[in-house]
Amino acid sequence: MLIVMRTDAAASDIERVLNTIHSMGYTGHELAGSTRVAIAVTGNDGAIDPAHFENLPGVAKTIRVTQPYKLASRNGSNIRPAVKVGTSEIGGGSFAMIAGPCAIEEREQVMAAAEAVSRSGAAFFRGGAFKPRTSPYAFQGLGLDGLKLLAEVRDRYGLNIITEAMDEHGVDAVIKYADCIQIGARNMQNFSLLKYVGASDKPVLLKRGLSATLEEFLLAAEYVMSVGNAKVILCERGIRTFGNHARNTLDLSIVPAVQRVSHLPIIVDPSHGTGHNYMVTPLARAAAAVGADGLIVEVHPHPERALCDGAQALTTDQFLDLARQLTTLLRALGPDAVAASTSSMSEQ
Amino acid sequence: MLIVMRTDAAASDIERVLNTIHSMGYTGHELAGSTRVAIAVTGNDGAIDPAHFENLPGVAKTIRVTQPYKLASRNGSNIRPAVKVGTSEIGGGSFAMIAGPCAIEEREQVMAAAEAVSRSGAAFFRGGAFKPRTSPYAFQGLGLDGLKLLAEVRDRYGLNIITEAMDEHGVDAVIKYADCIQIGARNMQNFSLLKYVGASDKPVLLKRGLSATLEEFLLAAEYVMSVGNAKVILCERGIRTFGNHARNTLDLSIVPAVQRVSHLPIIVDPSHGTGHNYMVTPLARAAAAVGADGLIVEVHPHPERALCDGAQALTTDQFLDLARQLTTLLRALGPDAVAASTSSMSEQ
Amino acid sequence: MLIVMRTDAAASDIERVLNTIHSMGYTGHELAGSTRVAIAVTGNDGAIDPAHFENLPGVAKTIRVTQPYKLASRNGSNIRPAVKVGTSEIGGGSFAMIAGPCAIEEREQVMAAAEAVSRSGAAFFRGGAFKPRTSPYAFQGLGLDGLKLLAEVRDRYGLNIITEAMDEHGVDAVIKYADCIQIGARNMQNFSLLKYVGASDKPVLLKRGLSATLEEFLLAAEYVMSVGNAKVILCERGIRTFGNHARNTLDLSIVPAVQRVSHLPIIVDPSHGTGHNYMVTPLARAAAAVGADGLIVEVHPHPERALCDGAQALTTDQFLDLARQLTTLLRALGPDAVAASTSSMSEQ
Amino acid sequence: MLIVMRTDAAASDIERVLNTIHSMGYTGHELAGSTRVAIAVTGNDGAIDPAHFENLPGVAKTIRVTQPYKLASRNGSNIRPAVKVGTSEIGGGSFAMIAGPCAIEEREQVMAAAEAVSRSGAAFFRGGAFKPRTSPYAFQGLGLDGLKLLAEVRDRYGLNIITEAMDEHGVDAVIKYADCIQIGARNMQNFSLLKYVGASDKPVLLKRGLSATLEEFLLAAEYVMSVGNAKVILCERGIRTFGNHARNTLDLSIVPAVQRVSHLPIIVDPSHGTGHNYMVTPLARAAAAVGADGLIVEVHPHPERALCDGAQALTTDQFLDLARQLTTLLRALGPDAVAASTSSMSEQ
């Protein structure tokens, strides 16, 4: 931590700060600038609460230096290992495609979507049985019946299943039927839920909160990991800004930012990230080109009849076309092109 | 809902939209503008999913008209009733002061804070036993022991207790020991938790999410109310913006906005809303002047030793000074001054 | 500046950074933390460009410590002097009321507004002759004819005139007819214009940009001051956020933030800051209570006929009622109440 | 426009609104919903000011339907024509590469950058002679000497020159020496400057403001076009959000959004859009993959010595590697892949 003193700080103010640092068992280093003094703190193991200093006389502000996450950090390693999900894996140099409808509605819908997803060559199927909806009057999902349909998809198509849980009961059910527990954007800082999935050994797909900073995102992953579950996959799904041409603003710059400081895989959701059918394919291409470890995309055999988020779902034909475009794009870029541009990305 | 057609929409496109509306049991009204056609939908009882129309050929965009919340709405009434909390109440024309430390740390700290809060004339005491912390390595609260100390405060000082619950187990415990369940900003869209407190009969203090719109805020209240618990108090606690001189941006304009469309009381948290000790008193005065139904403020006998958010806590002396300023200000403004400026605020 | 090294930085990386600092004529201080090294730079007079270090091997990030504004800073002084505007002044402990229509439309409208403003006891009249409009098809202002009407208001009512200039020609005209040049939010970083008004000796009312940080706001003032014109008055007028219940989000926390670090007066515009008639009076009261040095408010004899921003204008009756409320509120708070809460605010 | 009435609106309130619409020469259509009435306005040619209705008794809110830009609109056409810039063109199906240093510093720097840009096959060179800097104490550019060096680059390498103008004097100079006038993000709503370049016949590269909506962006273009200059090229360069891992948040979703409603070319600036060297190449690839009409990238022979924004500049080697990656990527995607995904994008 760096404590910046006011230009009018008295010698006794500086002394008091140094004494406070000393009493905490740390070392203070006085750095005299041209107009004011700054005091650096060393010897601390984790982050220091700025409250110890911010209201002391003569203190202008405090600046934190120590990064607060540990397990989610790269820690100097060049390896970004894959996370195993069912019979396949996400990260580690491969490109994962996860697709399926927003909500599980009924058998015919699920199977038509699954058939297309399977045909595209994707290894993962998504679909919500428990739906977090902004309005209590909107369709809330099929619950257990939805999970059973998902299990049927796995049996029939060999696809690995990713589905959301919203509470402890939901986690227990999802663990029983699926391969990966999704934590939604609105629950990214539901710390009780994060600890609960941290105690399981299922992989966790953690979506970025609508207004989460990179640090908060990684600290949410750290919550899961600190309990013992290291199998976390991050997902960018758009952030909330003043912009109104899309439902959210897809922040692709977080992909290289995460890859620079963390070993965790990061995928992109262009469906929730844009909210409009016509934007999904271009932004999906962009996510692949930026170097994301995969995509999660909404596909529906009849978007106009969807009970949830139909406006952003691709038709099965549009999805198969996207899959073809991505294959071409990823083959062209190749591992070398991507590697060349990320070669300078060791841990921060 | 209003469906705006493209300028190049064909007559058959318009026909298709009208047919779709008709097949849903609603009525479509074609409105010919100078360059394009819009189609208004009537006959619907609740909000219509735009997905039914957004991807149809010739459709430019959809505009929702129906407000999606019902129970949280004023519905034409001029009465904004109080919510009873323990032996006192919030809203209904009175000004509620809720104060106490961010986290319950130990008996001496709690009682010193409670003594000051009681002395100020406030009727409500706050303090966290379960703490939602951004980092898993930060102090997580005393849990049950904290709740017992809060119950002691009620017994000794006659203050009504408001404390946060983060999950179902926490709600069960808080209901046993406290007078009002606080739902934190990061759980504002934890819909499972909202339903769970909706099933209890304790009042609920619902904090606005960091990036929640007015509509999302009222729909979160609607979740609680739709299960059967109408005792919801709203709380503005700062939103996330690009601004960096304060920890959050306190949005006081939401106070008149809520009062215009909803009968629910709305209070303001200038402590989390600013994050800096020196801003709390000025913004608390502003919240009272804007017409809020009350305040929730952090007070700590020794902010520099606080285990949580000490940088924003008032000392007990600063708090008593604030209480005096507010008494003067509220007496000067009086019910008439406030009423005069809000007389035009009937339901939206 | 503080340069934070990666945890995997080699000794030679640290050496290279220290050499770079030395070659720039500054001093580097190596601070060994538990997991990584930070290097503090002293001896610099102004801010250092982070580019010199950010791309060097082993560097994780740079943190700026030196504040980049000088003339706008309090520099340890407890005095926040008033700025003289025409026959009156803004800041220095008084509360300035500036009011008038958004745009000057015709004589009758201007005089009806001016009569009410004069009757309220306000000392300043506002009104736009040159209007920055988002659409090129919207009313662009009366230009020179508008300025002449403003000069007539000054002659007839003794009100000091504040009006906006959008370019050099406009500045030349405004200087001739008015007492204070307003720079609009959209021109806050029009650096050529800032330098041009900096070369005049008229006071400048500088509105905060829609997405300006505190530092950028003060640096915009610094542009004007660095050319030689120290008579700058700051104005908060709402920032752009995701919020949609108001036209902008009025950020009242910037008032104490500015007063802590700068000697410049800061006033508040609740009209543009909210965009809705029903919000103006509550937010105006809040601005006075937070300790602002004044207000700038839109008043129109017939808001429903206004050619510009009528939805946010107060009627003359509403304005006179607001003026009465403010008088009561300011008398109640008194200089002592405000002073008590800002006593700890010396320069940062 | 749609005028939504309150649920408690009286019949006389509805009557008054209809009369007001009639008195303006338009037609009002009363639409009775289940709980409240909405009134649609037709017959208007341009946007209607909501102020005429917002403060009338019984009115809840107004919703604008008419889009306010005309010349920048696609207006039903499927053609998005190229804009000619010097000897080449931007848009119309080709991919434009614009590169060069942030600021023109001295001959050796300029020529080293130009040599690399020329070698990459790019047709456009950028470099600032007049620099908009946040601080008045930062390097402000070489002015006329910089323009002369740019003209030399054109003569020697045949590159077309794009450079920024900040005011009328700057525009006059840029017109004399360069092929395209750049309007910076901070001047996007400097309406006087927009009209001034609108009166010239040089192409204009218009950068999106830091907090500009799509509509404001297109209306800024409309300002230029409404004076007579239709040669506008749009540029996304990152918006301001709460995010802090990048200097700005690059909003790639605006590319398909612009292409859907406007015929103007839109390019992307990943240098200012991210602010960090290590992010530029991945985001440049993403911009190409999303379907942008080109890129503007900062290249500097010695970024660590740059006088402006060095942290985000690519070295000449990095730039040449990027150019190779883009060639591969664009060839793989091909016009068909892009066309397939945008086939549904006719005018809104």
Residues C348 and C261 sit within 8 Å (Cβ to Cβ): yes
pLDDT of residue C76: 67
The average confidence (pLDDT) of chain D is 91
**Residues of chain A contacting residue C247, judged by C-beta atoms under 8 Å apart:** none
**B26, B114, C7, C255 from B324: Cα distances, Å:** 58, 17, 52, 22
Minimum mean pLDDT among A248-252, C284-288, D42-46: which range?
D42-46
Cβ contact D289–A282 (<8 Å): yes
CB of A291 within 8 Å of any CB in chain D?
yes
Flag if B63 and D61 touch (Cβ within 8 Å): no
Cβ-defined contact of D311 to C223 (cutoff 8 Å): no
Q: How high does pLDDT run on average in chain A?
A: 91
**Nearest-Cα residue of chain D relative to residue A322:** D341
* Digit-coded pLDDT (tens) for A150-176: 999 999 999 999 999 999 999 999 999
The chain D residue lying nearest A323, using CA atoms, is D337
pLDDT at position C343, please? 39
Domains in chain A: ranges and CATH: 2-63 (3.30.70.1140), 83-344 (3.20.20.70)
Sign of CA dihedral A317, A320, A324, A330: positive
Q: How far apart are CA A285 and CA C6, in angstroms?
A: 32
A241 touches chain C (CB under 8 A): yes
Find chain A residues with C-beta within 8 A of C209's C-beta: none
Q: With an 8 Å Cβ cutoff, are B40 and D29 in contact?
A: yes
Q: Does D279 touch chain A (CB under 8 A)?
A: yes
- State whether residue D175 sits within 8 Å of chain C by CB: no
A27 touches chain C (CB under 8 A): no
- The answer to whether the Cβ–Cβ distance between D44 and B60 falls below 8 Å is no
Answer whether C56 touches B (CB < 8 Å).
no
Contact C189 D134 (CB under 8 A): yes
How many inter-chain contacts (A to C, CB under 8 Å) are there?
A: 77
Closest residue of A to C10, CA-based? A76
Q: In chain B, what residues touch D69 (CB-CB under 8 Å)?
A: none
Cα distance between residue A203 and residue C126, in whole Å: 62
The answer to whether the Cβ–Cβ distance between B246 and C255 falls below 8 Å is: no
Task: Examine the pLDDT at D263 and tell me if it is beyond 60.
Answer: yes
Question: Distance from A202 to chain D by nearest Cα, in Å?
Answer: 29
Closest residue on chain A to D261 (Cα): A245
- For C191, name the nearest residue in chain D, comparing CA atoms only: D132
Task: Give the per-residue pLDDT at A278.
Answer: 95
Q: Which residues 314-333 of chain B have a CB within 8 Å of chain C?
A: 321-322, 325, 328-329, 331-333
Q: Where are the beta strands (DSSP E) in D101-191?
A: 124-126, 160-164, 180-183
CB within 8 A of B238, min separation 6: which ones? B210, B246, B247, B248, B249, B250, B251, B269, B272, B273, B274, B275
Q: Does C71 touch chain A (CB under 8 A)?
A: no
Contact call for B192 and A211, based on CB within 8 A: no
Instruction: Find the mean pLDDT for residues A192-206.
Output: 97
pLDDT digits (tens, 9 = 90+) for D171-199: 999 999 999 999 999 999 999 999 999 99
Contact C38 A40 (CB under 8 A): yes
Region D82-111 average pLDDT: 96
Residues on chain C touching D69 (C-beta within 8 angstroms)? 135
| Cα A41 from Cα B164, distance rounded (Å) | 34
Q: Does residue A213 sit at the D interface (CB-CB below 8 Å)? A: yes
Average pLDDT, 10 consecutive residues per value, chain B (348 residues): 87 92 89 84 79 84 82 83 97 96 95 97 97 90 96 98 97 97 98 97 98 97 96 98 96 97 97 96 98 97 85 95 96 66 37
State percent of chain D over pLDDT 70: 96
Task: Please report, in angstroms and rounded to a whole number, the separation of the first and last CA atoms in chain D.
Answer: 17
- Cα A200 to its chain centre, rounded Å, is 19
CB contact under 8 A, B332 and C337: no
Q: How far is B66 from chain D (nearest CA, A)?
A: 9
**Chains with 3 or more CB pairs under 8 A to chain B:** A, C, D
Interchain contact C246–A (C-beta under 8 A): no
Quote the pTM value: 0.94
| Amino acid D336: pLDDT | 52
How confident is the model at residue D220, as a pLDDT? 97
Q: Does C137 touch chain B (CB under 8 A)?
A: no
Quick check: D186 contacting C, CB < 8 Å? yes
C241: chain A residues, CB-CB within 8 Å: 242
H helices of C229-290, in order, are 254-261, 270-274, 277-290
Q: Which residue from B191, B183, B217, B200 is spatially nearest to B69, judged by alpha carbons?
A: B217
Residues of chain C short of pLDDT 70, as ranges, are: 76, 335-348
Asked if the C-beta of B337 comes within 8 angstroms of chain D's C-beta atoms, the answer is no
pLDDT digits (tens, 9 = 90+) for A80-104: 999 999 999 999 999 999 999 999 9
Closest-CA residue in chain A for D333? Answer: A329
Q: Closest Cα to residue C51, out of D97, D102, A188, D323?
A: D102
| Token pair of C253 as six digits | 């926390």
Instruction: For residue D21, give the amino acid letter.
Output: I
D345 band by pLDDT with thresholds 50, 70 and 90: very low
Residue type, D347: E
Cα distances from A21 to residues A5, A29, A37, A50, A184, in angstroms, run 14, 10, 15, 11, 40
Min Cα–Cα distance to chain D from C228, Å: 12
Across the interface, which of D241, D279, D290 has its CB nearest the CB of A285?
A: D290
B208 touches B254 (CB < 8 A): yes
pLDDT of A345 reads 36
The residues in B 99-118 lying below 8 A from C, measured between CB atoms, are: none
A340 pLDDT tier (thresholds 50, 70, 90): very low
| Subunits in contact with chain A (3 or more CB pairs closer than 8 Å) | B, C, D
Are the beta carbons of B219 and A47 separated by less than 8 Å? no
pLDDT value at position C6?
A: 86
D240 contacts chain C (CB < 8 A): yes
**pLDDT above 60 for A342:** no
A302 interfacial to chain B (CB closer than 8 Å): no
Q: Which residues of D touch A278 (CB under 8 A)?
A: 256, 260, 342, 344-345
Chain B residue closest in CA terms to D344: B57
Angstroms from D116 CA to nearest CA on chain C:
20
Per-residue pLDDT, C36: 83
Q: Say yes or no: C24 contacts chain B, CB-CB below 8 A.
A: no
The alpha-carbon gap from D317 to the nearest alpha carbon of chain A, in Å, equals 12
Task: Give the DSSP per-residue string, B21-58.
Answer: HHHTT-EEEEEE-SS-EEEEEES-SSPPPTHHHHTSTT
Lay out the sheet containing A27-32: strands in order across: A27-32, A37-42, A2-5, A59-63
Positions of E strands within D134-225: 160-164, 180-183, 204-207
Q: Which residue of C has its CA nearest to A240?
A: C242
A251 touches chain B (CB under 8 A): no
Specify the pLDDT at position A79.
85
Verify whether the Cβ–Cβ distance A277 to B216 is below 8 Å.
no
Contact B325, B285 (CB under 8 A): yes
The whole-angstrom distance between D35's CA and the closest CA on chain B is 8
pLDDT the model gives residue C335: 67
C13 in contact with chain D, both atoms CB, cutoff 8 A: no
